[in-house]
Amino acid sequence: MSVNRRDFLKIAGMAGSSLLAGAPGRSEAAVAGVEFYGLLIDTTKCIGCRSCEEACNEQNGLPEPEVPFDRESVFETKRDTSPGAYTVLNRFPNEKDPDNPVFVRRQCLHCCQPACASACLTKAMEKTKEGPVIYNKDRCMGCRYCMIACPQDIPKFEYGSAFPYIRKCIFCYDRLKAGERPACVDACPEDATIFGTRRELLEIARTRIYENPDKYVHHIYGEHEVGGSGTMYLSAVPFEQLGFRTDLGTTPYPEHTSGFLYGVPLVFVLWPSILIGLNYLAEDRNKEKNHEEEG
Amino acid sequence: MKRKGNDIERPRKVLQGVRDFVRFIASEMKPKGKIWTPFNVISGTIIAVGIVLIAIRFYMGLGAVTNLSQDYPWGIWIGFDVITGVAFAGGAYVLTFVVHIMKFEKYEPIVRVTVLNGFLAYVFYAGALLLDLGRPWNVVNPIIGNSFGLSSVLFLVAWHFLLYMICEFIEFSPAIAEWLNWEKTRRIVEKMTIGAVIFGITLSTLHQSGLGALFLLAPAKIHPLWYSYYIPVLFFVSSIFAGLSMVIIESTFTHRIFHHRIGNRLRASHDDILLGLAKGCIGALFAYLFLKVIELVHGGHWGLLATPMGYWYLVEIVGFVVLPIFLFGAAIKRRNVRLVQFTSFFTAIGVVLNRLNVSIIAFKWYAPVRYYPSWIEIWVTLAVISMELWVFRWVINRMPVFKEHPAAKEAMDDITPVGEVVRWKASAS
Ligand code: SF4
Ligand code: SF4
């Protein structure tokens, strides 16, 4: 799409929003210079022990897992997160080193400009200033638009319940506010998942790649994907082989709809005036016609 | 002065008034006409079973009755009931534009019934949204709550649904006032009509396109042939011919049944009206086709046309956009009203196809397990449609919906089949 059109709408939109309440706001996450917290997950260090899954389960009071945490058989099928599991570990073959399969944790990436939060009409999904994307369950109306929007398909819905909620990782937000790290970080015996500010983590990630150029693919998943995310990954094999979507682009998702939203105040100002104008013209025309018919 | 007497008289009068009113409403509630007609039996069964199914849905959760999954959070209750239903309700804003703004009086006789249809469509089809919400009691949150998701397109759509329903109610309320014989109220609401129309058209523009804009947030999940930045505009333009073709279909039914009852003027103009609407359809279809071609060129997805999804795309475009343009063209040239009616059906199917494509069929076209609606989802959808028809019939049988103009009060008896029965929606309501 042409940049000009969008820029035009933005300028027009800003003019409009000063006139009208309810004009679209920029995603609060877009505010530059905020130190978001995040996680760096180094898949080369992960040994597949599922300690993170177990810690997450305990922390969030989730139901017993289908396959106990000490059972290896769980890796025979690819699992997805679910209302009962906010993080799951999957095993992928390693083409570089067939004896050492790769284990990858899958959970919410806490995008810098989250699609889920920009989709949510009640602010139940909310990007906090610390970085985590949290879920205010009392506001949610269960429309599941966040699920449509999330590029990673992370929010999960409790279809089996008459009083359902959306479920996903919330970065142990309560622990974070109490000055603690997320439970999964504390549980990881290999430091495969580490905690820090996004800036620090990016530095660590880059350093690791520079120091071991042959070991890692030269890409940090989550640095730029859909505008960047709080949780980022390092890997030894290309990310598309690990079940990551690599076709998402770098545009933050809220920008896909901001053009439309900026156009809204415009229509609100222009349409009524145009309609009233047309109405005058039409009345004139009818009057003239009647006149002619009479005359 | 008689002031004192009035004070005592007043409450009694008011009481009497209320009593009369209640009695009137009660008498109007009673069914008119035969009860055991095939239409009633079938639709009644659908509704009765539907209500049971809806109860189960609220008791056991969505998973118990729908095929929705973590991969497909939206099924036909959203894709068909809400998104397609609202497109078809577009006839109301198009016709109010033509009649109240552009002052084409030719279409005046069908405005009321169209607005009624639009209003009921919003009440029932947008209302069907409540069935689909996991926590429907929280639907008030974005309206009253402290939690305005201002960056959400859905927030906009929700508000516009609500406001637009109010607008349509105002537009229709003169008919209600006439039915109740509230002359003063009628004069007041009549004056509000033009404001409601202007506001309503603005709202419609925004939420018809807004329904499309919802899907802008899923660029990686919708097949590239259907995903584009044009979706909002495409939804808006297609709501014009969706609405118009629905008006033609609807008037085909009601008019056929009323044909011998309707006043000469309306009878004479009916064919003219339909042909005029067909012209409107052609215009909108052309604009739509044009946008679709630009979008295809712009997106550069020519290669994808030679894939199974591409063939499906061509079916939608060639079969249900290009072909209707030709058919409507031929119909107008030969003044063939039947062909206009047939083509409207055709066009409407195309709109259904398009909305389902965007929201369900082309959505996660790559998913290993696809979504198909469960029989319960389909049944409940049919129940919602049946309920709407019942209410529609109830209103038609009681209120002066087919009246042309408030000034033409005398002519009304000639035109309005008050208390008469629409046979297909007919018999009892
Ligand atoms: S990964 Fe999905 S759920 Fe998590 S913040 Fe990003 S958009 Fe939201
Ligand atoms: S399901 Fe809940 S959290 Fe998700 S978009 Fe709807 S209201 Fe927001």
For residue A208, how far is its CA from the centre of ligand 2 (angstroms)?
A: 38
Domain check: are A21 and A32 in the same one? no
DSSP E strand stretches across A14-108:
37-42, 88-92, 102-106
Rounded Cα–Cα distance for residues B223 and B381 (Å) = 26
Domain check: are A153 and A289 in the same one? no
Give the residue among A20, A34, A75, A23 at the shortest CA–CA distance from A53. Answer: A75
Q: Which of B151, B201, B211, B298 to mutate to test the interface with A (most CBs of A within 10 A)?
A: B151
pLDDT-derived band at A22 (thresholds 50, 70, 90) equals: very low
| Predicted confidence (pLDDT) per residue in B395-421, tens digit | 888 888 875 444 444 444 444 343 333
The two three-digit tokens of residue A20, written as one number: 């009208």
| Predicted confidence (pLDDT) per residue in B57-101, tens digit | 999 999 999 999 999 999 999 999 999 999 999 999 999 999 999
What pLDDT is recorded for position A19? 34
Q: Which CATH number belongs to the domain containing residue A49 in this structure?
A: 3.30.70.20
What pLDDT is recorded for position A24? 41
Q: Alpha helices of chain A — where are they, by DSSP H?
A: 3-19, 51-59, 115-119, 145-149, 173-177, 183-187, 198-211, 254-294
| Residue with tokens 């295809």, as numbered in its chain | B296
Give the residue among A65, A57, A81, A83 at the shortest CA–CA distance from A160. Answer: A83
Give the residue among A150, A246, A217, A180 at the shortest CA–CA distance from A37. Answer: A180
Q: Which candidate from A115, A163, A267 shows the least CB-CB separation from B202? A: A267
Measured between beta carbons, the chain B residues lying within 8 angstroms of A8 are none
Domain check: are A178 and A291 in the same one? no
- Give the closest residue (by CA) to ligand 1 atom 2: A150
Measured between beta carbons, the chain B residues lying within 8 angstroms of A272 are 198-199, 202
pLDDT-derived band at B427 (thresholds 50, 70, 90) equals: very low
Measured between beta carbons, the chain A residues lying within 8 angstroms of B198 are 271-272, 275-276, 279
Give the residue among A169, A150, A158, A48 at the shortest CA–CA distance from A108. Answer: A169
φ, ψ of residue A39 in degrees (nearest 5): -125, 145
Q: Which of B99, B152, B205 to mutate to test the interface with A (most CBs of A within 10 A)?
A: B152
The response to whether residue A228 sits with its C-beta less than 6 Å from ligand 1 reads no
Domain check: are A38 and A75 in the same one? yes
Measured between beta carbons, the chain A residues lying within 8 angstroms of B159 are 22
| Chain mean pLDDT for chain A | 87
Nearest CA in chain A to B360: A148
Mean pLDDT of B283-299: 94
Q: At what angle do helices B337-356 and B323-333 cross, to 10 degrees?
A: 160
pLDDT at B267 over 90: no
Q: Which of B82, B107, B154 to mutate to test the interface with A (most CBs of A within 10 A)?
A: B154
Distance from CA of B12 to the nearest CA of A (A): 46
Cα dihedral A63, A69, A74, A75 sign = positive
Distance from CA of B71 to the nearest CA of A (A): 8
Domain check: are A109 and A237 in the same one? yes
The two three-digit tokens of residue A65, written as one number: 């897992």
Residue-range domains of chain B with CATH? 37-408 (1.20.1630.10)
What pLDDT is recorded for position B403? 58
pLDDT-derived band at B342 (thresholds 50, 70, 90) equals: very high
Q: Which of A136-150, B18-32, B109-123 has the lowest mean pLDDT?
A: B18-32
Mention every residue, 6+ apart, whose C-beta is less than 8 A from residue B233: B209, B212, B291
Mean pLDDT of B28-42: 83
CB proximity under 8 Å: A 28-87 to B: 80, 82
The response to whether residue A115 sits with its C-beta less than 6 Å from ligand 1 reads yes
Rounded Cα–Cα distance for residues B102 and A27 (Å) = 40
Domain check: are A290 and A153 in the same one? no
Q: How many CB atoms lie within 10 A of CB B188?
A: 13
For residue A150, how far is its CA from the centre of ligand 1 (angstroms)?
A: 5
CB proximity under 8 Å: A 145-164 to B: 145, 147-149, 151, 153, 156-164
CB A235 within 8 A of CB A100: no
| Residue with tokens 């706001």, as numbered in its chain | A25
Mean pLDDT of A128-157: 95
Which residue did the predictor score with more confidence, B400 or B266?
B400
CB proximity under 8 Å: A 265-284 to B: 267-268, 271-272, 275-276, 278-279, 282-283
pLDDT at B162 over 70: yes
φ, ψ of residue B113 in degrees (nearest 5): -65, -35
Ligand 2 surroundings by CB, under 6 angstroms: A 119-120, 122, 124-125, 140-146, 166
Domain check: are A247 and A291 in the same one? no
Written as one letter, the residue type at B424 is W
φ, ψ of residue A228 in degrees (nearest 5): 90, 155
| Predicted confidence (pLDDT) per residue in B219-251, tens digit | 999 999 999 999 999 999 999 999 999 999 998
Task: Please answer yes or no on whether B219 and A249 come within 8 Å at the CB atom.
Answer: yes
The bound ligand whose nearest atom lies closest to the alpha carbon of A134 is 1
Measured between beta carbons, the chain B residues lying within 8 angstroms of A142 are 133-136, 138
The bound ligand whose nearest atom lies closest to the alpha carbon of A166 is 2
| Residue with tokens 């622990």, as numbered in its chain | A175
pLDDT > 70 fraction of chain A, expressed in percent and rounded: 87
Domain check: are A246 and A117 in the same one? yes
The two three-digit tokens of residue A236, written as one number: 């030894």
Mention every residue, 6+ apart, whose C-beta is less than 8 A from residue A216: A44, A208, A209, A234, A235, A236
Split into its structural domains, chain A has a count of 2
H helix or E strand, kind and range, residue A258: helix A254-294
Q: Alpha helices of B263-374 — where are they, by DSSP H?
A: 264-299, 308-314, 323-333, 337-356
Supply the range of the domain harboring residue A292.
1-27+258-295
The bound ligand whose nearest atom lies closest to the alpha carbon of A113 is 1
pLDDT > 90 fraction of chain B, expressed in percent and rounded: 65
| Residue with tokens 């969030």, as numbered in its chain | A60
Domain check: are A22 and A32 in the same one? no
pLDDT at A4 over 80: no
The two three-digit tokens of residue B105, written as one number: 């009086």
Domain check: are A141 and A209 in the same one? yes
The two three-digit tokens of residue A269, written as one number: 């100002």
Rounded Cα–Cα distance for residues B184 and B283 (Å) = 41
pLDDT at B1 over 80: no
Nearest CA in chain A to B299: A1
pLDDT-derived band at B150 (thresholds 50, 70, 90) equals: confident
Q: Which of B57, B100, B153, B374 to mutate to test the interface with A (most CBs of A within 10 A)?
A: B153
| Chain mean pLDDT for chain B | 87
Beta-bridge mates of residue A106: A88
pLDDT at B256 over 80: no
pLDDT-derived band at A17 (thresholds 50, 70, 90) equals: very low
CA-CA-CA-CA dihedral for B225, B230, B233, B237, to nearest 10: -30
Domain check: are A7 and A149 in the same one? no
Task: Please answer yes or no on whether B103 and A148 come within 8 Å at the CB atom.
Answer: no
CB B327 within 8 A of CB B285: no
Q: Which of A235-239, A288-292, B65-69 has the lowest mean pLDDT?
A: A288-292
- Give the closest residue (by CA) to ligand 1 atom 6: A111
Rounded Cα–Cα distance for residues A78 and A59 (Å) = 24
What pLDDT is recorded for position B259? 58
Q: Count Cβ neighbours within 10 Å for each residue of B270-288 and write b for 16 or more, e otherwise.
A: beebbbbbbebbbbbbebb
Measured between beta carbons, the chain B residues lying within 8 angstroms of A115 are 217
Give the residue among B272, B247, B248, B268 at the shortest CA–CA distance from B259. Answer: B268
What pLDDT is recorded for position A294? 65
Distance from CA of B118 to the nearest CA of A (A): 20
Measured between beta carbons, the chain A residues lying within 8 angstroms of B206 are 264, 267-268
What pLDDT is recorded for position B253? 83
CB A142 within 8 A of CB A164: yes
CB B46 within 8 A of CB B375: no
- Residue B49: exposed, middle, or buried by beta-carbon count in 10 A (0-12, 13-18, 19+)? middle
Domain check: are A190 and A150 in the same one? yes
pLDDT-derived band at A150 (thresholds 50, 70, 90) equals: very high
What pLDDT is recorded for position B170? 95
